[in-house]
Each structure stands twice: as C-alpha cells, then as structure tokens.
Structure 1
C-alpha cells in the first residue's frame, strides 16, 4: 500500500507534490517505511529500538540529527539488516518506487550498495536482480494507479571496502537490466576516490557514467578526486564546493564574488550538484556557514549559475520527500514556480538517461509546470 502523499503548496497555490519531478540522489536503504522495517525485522528475528511505526520513525530522525555523517550512517545498520533476503529487497524496492510515484517523481535514480546485502547468502547478481524485480513491480503499481514513472539503479561501491572493481563490473554487467550508473559512498574523509582508480578506469573504458559522493564530509580535495580520479559527471552533494568561492560584502549594496579554479571548472562544465538540504544540515556538511537552512550555500550556488539539483538523500532519516525539500527551499529563499522548474530541468539534463530520453523528460517537466 502506497504511503499517503502530503501536499506542499506554493504561496500562489501551485501544488508542489503534483508537479513532475526528477530524483537523482535517493538511497534505497534510506527510504524504507518504518512499518515495513518492523514487519521485516519480525520475520527475521531482528531486534529494534521501537516496535511502533511512528515511534520508530521518530527514532531514526533523532539519531540522524547528530551533526555527524559517521553517526548518521550508523542508523543504516537497521535498514540494511532487513534487506538481506530476496523478499526483503523486492518489497523495499517496490514500496520505494510507489512512494516516489506518490510524490510526483517521473524519473528516479535509486542508489544502493549490493555488497551490503550479502549476509543471508545472496550473490551480488541476485541482489541486483531482486531490486530490479521490486522496481518493476513498483512501476506497474504506479502506472495502474494512473501515474507515470521510470526508474534506474545506481550501483554503489563502499569507498572504505576493497571491492570497487568487482562492483564496477557488476554495474556494467547489469546495464541492460536497469542499472544506469555507478557511485561510491560511505565514509568520505580518509577514503579518496583515487583509492578506487582501477574501478573508475574500467568504467571509463566501458563508457559507463559515474556520480561520486564528494564535498559532504570532506572538502575540496575530495571533490577534485571525484572529478579527476572518478571522472564524475555529477557530484553527490558537492555542497562544500562553496569553500572555493570567495564572497566579499563591502556594504549592503555591493557584493563581490570570486570563483576558484575548481568551482569555476564545475560551473563551466555544468557538472550537476546533487544537493540535499535537510540531510546536509543533519550531517554537519554546512556547519562552517551555519546550522539553519538559510545558511545553506544552495542559493549562492544557484544565483551564480551552477547546475544545482534538489534531492532527499535519505527520506526516512530526514523525514522528508522531494516535494518537502522543494517547499522548504521555496519558503527559505523565496523561490517561485519558475525556480522550482529550473531545478527539475537541471536534474533532467544531468540524469543518466540517453539524450533522447532526457529531451522527452524536459518536455514532460515543462508541460507539467505550464499546467500548474
């Protein structure tokens, strides 16, 4: 059963939830329904801190709101714990797609790390096949309910492990079975993209697109590594790219901005930033600028012409949705419908779809916003 969507409205009355949207940065193991966790945990004998759905949802949000990425990631021990069987993976993926469809997403890229789902004897290939089966069931559910959605998998390697090439080969092996791209995730500081250079070389030889978590828990060197070792076409978060931008406010009327070579490169190449506002607050990614949404460099990057996109990262941990993130940004920075459309067009342009499909996606977004 699909979670009931919450309608978020702009001041002019436009329903953000009903608008066609693109989701690029959304973790499968960060988007489970609390009640599903409870039911799956009971079937495998996994102890939980709470056995009521609402209470469990509150527990995840509280534990995730620590200001530390390392602490934030600990909550995933529970979600990955209930995703070790074929049945668990299928159900979670199916419901994930249902919830995206209910939120107005028409193209979603779901990232997840197959190597974290082998505890019950599944092979890497079996995990990908199970997730794809759930995705296809979810797509059918959305379509049968009158909606429209397409989904691609982003197969992720854990940057602290030593399986990068193996996971890259897995991703390429399933490029005809729903996998559209590759990612690395996990503890960022101390584990640069260069450690997985062999995997990225393999992906480049096979013309397979990559996005890399960078500029979240580490700074500019991590972003450089993502771009030049990882050949990243997008930056997962990338919010700390703002460290390479100098803002000099001489007075209330005159502000001067200077981009460093790295930020200028990212801007000129139109490399998309997969920004996740609520998550960035929770993990402390923007702590050098402040601890409220108004302090987030999102608007600075947008006004300077970077290809900013809006994402949820982990909907369970942040108690959020793509519509909610857009509503929060609109309220904080006084964005209107045209701004939200730009964010969706940016995401469509940066998606790991063939050019013709991206053009079709742009048309769907434009038509949907015109009718709003």
Structure 2
C-alpha cells in the first residue's frame, strides 16, 4: 500500500491530518515511485531487482535507506533512476507522483528532480523535462477527476558533484513559466559546495529564477553559508544543521538561555525557509550529533525560536512515508495541535516559488481548511 493511501488522524483521535490542505516543498521525483511501478517498468527494460513483489521491494528500500549515511542512502536511487530513462517511464512516474500527493491532501507541490540523470537511453535534457511535465499535467487532471484540487511545479536540480550546473540552469530557464518554477542543487553535499556552481547561480539571478539549495544535511554551517551567499538560496533544502549555530546555556535547574550565532540570526531574520524532513534526517544521520530518535530532532527548537520551519517528506519511498505521516509523527512527538500544523503549512505556502498573489490564495485555502477541521 502506498503511504499516501493511509489516513492519519491527530494523536488521540480527532481531525484527519490527511484531509487537511497541505503544501509540499521538498519531495524528490525519483524518491517517490510506487514499488509496483518499479517492478513493471523494470520488467520492460530487463532490470534485475532485489525483490519482485511490491511489499518486499518497499521493505528493501526502507531498510537500505536507514543507513545513517547520506552517501549510502543515495545508492538506492540507482534503481529508481534506472526505470526513469524513457519518455514513458518519466511520464508514468510523474503522473502517479501527483496522484499520490493529491490523495494525501496536498494542494500544492514543488517536485524536484535532476534531468541530467535521465538521459542514459537517448533522451535530451529538454525531452526529459517535457516528459515529466506531461505526466504532471495528467496527474493534475486525474486528481481533479477524483475530486481533488492540486497544483504542481518542477524544481530542476543540478547534481552538485557534476560539472553541468550552468547547462542545467539554462535548461531551467528554457522551461521556466511552462512548468518549471525554480532551481535546486542536489547530491553528495560534503566536499561539493554551492560555490562550485557559482556561474549557474549568477545566470539564475540574472534571469530572476529562484533557487533552493540542499545544505545543512550532510555538511554543516559552511555549506549553509555557501548556499545563501554563493547560491543566493531563498530556501534551505533541509538546513537542519543550522541548529549548530544555536547555542544553549543552562543557568540553573529551571532556566535555559539560547543565543543565535550570526548565520542562524540571518536565516531567522530574513525568514528563509528550512525544508526539514524529519524521517529522512534520521535515516541519513543528519541529526546524529543531537541523537537518533525523533524527539532529538532540533525541529521543535527551531520552531520555538521562530524560524520558518516547514515539514517535508524528502523521499516518500525511501522513508516509507507521506506528508501526513510526517505531520502525525511530529504532533505525536512534540505535542503539537492543529494550530501548530497550520503554522507549518502557512510557512510552506509563504515560501513557495509562486507569485505573491498565488501564495496569498494558497494561504487562504489552508486557513479555511484548518478552520473547518
């Protein structure tokens, strides 16, 4: 069963989290495939898989992804990207991706993926973007027919360890406003700073194309600085390790005082969104310095300090999750109520790469949905 098909209620019963209107900012296309789709597309190209039935394959992905290492976590994508090398494969995956988001109550989603990883069977970069857009459009129509209203946009990612940043930025520019809403860099973070792609970010700035940058997941504060000042990032992909710049000191048994370093203060003051992904952050070891349970995640600390926190899935297949499940886990762990969950969704709406008027309309839909819950 897809995680998106499961219904999550507020802890202790009550409102359906699944039915609430939600915004997804950090969700990878190649990390959200249905296991059965992998099996069927794999058969078409003769791909050998570690399991040949959907539940077992889903279990394999979850197990392999729970390694405590981003590098090891990323190896599972060798299988998903292998079945996404044709127009048919890309369009099908994108279509089902939107269907699953809509079934989980998402009303707006930005879907990130790296076209350069999908040209092994002869597609051009532009053809991959067009194939994904075709699937996304079909998924939106399917959702409408099923009684859901959803809007989506592509975030075109460049792989930070490759030397194609400017080429991918130019690709994003060619499709900007025709499905593409922004740019991202992804892949192994440590050792590959945003500054290596400075020419791409210069190009994007000159063409008024917004960027989010993976930073503060597998590397620390220097990576976040690079994302902000070399990448001109308007959002931080994960950004969880910004908490390294939050300093606490206990004065006595009752009082703990918190001070922010200059980087954390900058991010807070400018309301730069943190695309936090709780389950994924546990799997990749991004929060290992604070602990290995969800209660150790600095999400609540950052929220209580007034940072613009958002909740995301990162990779629904690898984490066996959905946006509703992530919200449920946070509510269960930190005692959040519907008011808190509404804040997370309004934060996300305000941080989308949509025009201002569209962001305001999205916020109105979220507020109405939560008021009626």
How high is the TM-score relative to the length of structure 1? Answer: 0.99
Summarize the alignment of residues 229-248 of structure 1 with structure 2, pairs less than 5 Å apart.
229-248=230-249
Give the deviation of 1:5 after TM superposition: 1.6
Summarize the alignment of residues 309-320 of structure 1 with structure 2, pairs less than 5 Å apart.
309-320=310-321
Summarize the alignment of residues 75-114 of structure 1 with structure 2, pairs less than 5 Å apart.
75-114=76-115
Secondary structure at the aligned position of 2:153 is classed as strand
Partner of 1:281: 282
CA offset digits 1:219-270 (Å, max 9, x no partner) = 0000000000000000000000000000112334201000000000000000
Question: Which whole-Å CA distance do the structure 2 matches of 1:52 and 1:6 have between them?
Answer: 20
Partner of 1:131: 132
Contact 1:2-1:98 within 8 A present in 2 as well: no
Q: Does 1:51 align with 2:58?
A: no
Question: Which whole-Å CA distance do the structure 2 matches of 1:4 and 1:246 have between them?
Answer: 37
CA offset digits 1:103-149 (Å, max 9, x no partner) = 00000000000000000000000000000000000000000001100
Contact 1:2-1:95 within 8 A present in 2 as well: no
Give the deviation of 1:2 after TM superposition: 8.4
Partner of 1:142: 143
- Give the aligned CA root-mean-square deviation in angstroms: 1.0
Q: Does 1:6 align with 2:3?
A: no
Contact 1:2-1:102 within 8 A present in 2 as well: no
Secondary structure at the aligned position of 1:177 is classed as coil
Q: Does 1:214 align with 2:215?
A: yes
Q: Which runs of 4+ in 1 moved over 6 A?
A: 1-4
Question: Which whole-Å CA distance do the structure 2 matches of 1:256 and 1:75 have between them?
Answer: 42
Secondary structure at the aligned position of 1:152 is classed as strand
Question: Which whole-Å CA distance do the structure 2 matches of 1:340 and 1:38 have between them?
Answer: 36
Q: Which runs of 5+ in 1 are unaligned?
A: none
Question: Which whole-Å CA distance do the structure 2 matches of 1:66 and 1:12 have between them?
Answer: 33
Question: Which whole-Å CA distance do the structure 1 matches of 2:178 and 2:2 have between them?
Answer: 25
Q: Cα–Cα, structure 1 residues 112 and 251, in superposed 2: closer, same or farther, change >3 Å? A: same
Give the deviation of 1:6 after TM superposition: 1.1
Question: Which whole-Å CA distance do the structure 1 matches of 2:174 and 2:78 have between them?
Answer: 28
Give the deviation of 1:12 after TM superposition: 5.1
Partner of 1:205: 206
Partner of 1:259: 260
Question: Which whole-Å CA distance do the structure 1 matches of 2:307 and 2:253 have between them?
Answer: 24
Give the deviation of 1:30 after TM superposition: 0.1
Partner of 1:368: 369
- Corresponding pairs, count: 372
Q: Which runs of 5+ in 2 are unaligned?
A: none
Q: Cα–Cα, structure 1 residues 145 and 233, in superposed 2: closer, same or farther, change >3 Å? A: same
Partner of 2:329: 328
Q: Cα–Cα, structure 1 residues 334 and 4, in superposed 2: closer, same or farther, change >3 Å? A: closer
Secondary structure at the aligned position of 2:317 is classed as helix
Q: Does 1:61 align with 2:67?
A: no
Question: Which whole-Å CA distance do the structure 1 matches of 2:96 and 2:7 have between them?
Answer: 19
How high is the TM-score relative to the length of structure 2? Answer: 0.99
Partner of 1:228: 229
Question: Which whole-Å CA distance do the structure 2 matches of 1:172 and 1:368 have between them?
Answer: 34
Give the deviation of 1:45 after TM superposition: 0.4
Q: Cα–Cα, structure 1 residues 270 and 341, in superposed 2: closer, same or farther, change >3 Å? A: same
Question: Which whole-Å CA distance do the structure 2 matches of 1:2 and 1:223 have between them?
Answer: 33
Secondary structure at the aligned position of 2:318 is classed as helix
Partner of 2:117: 116
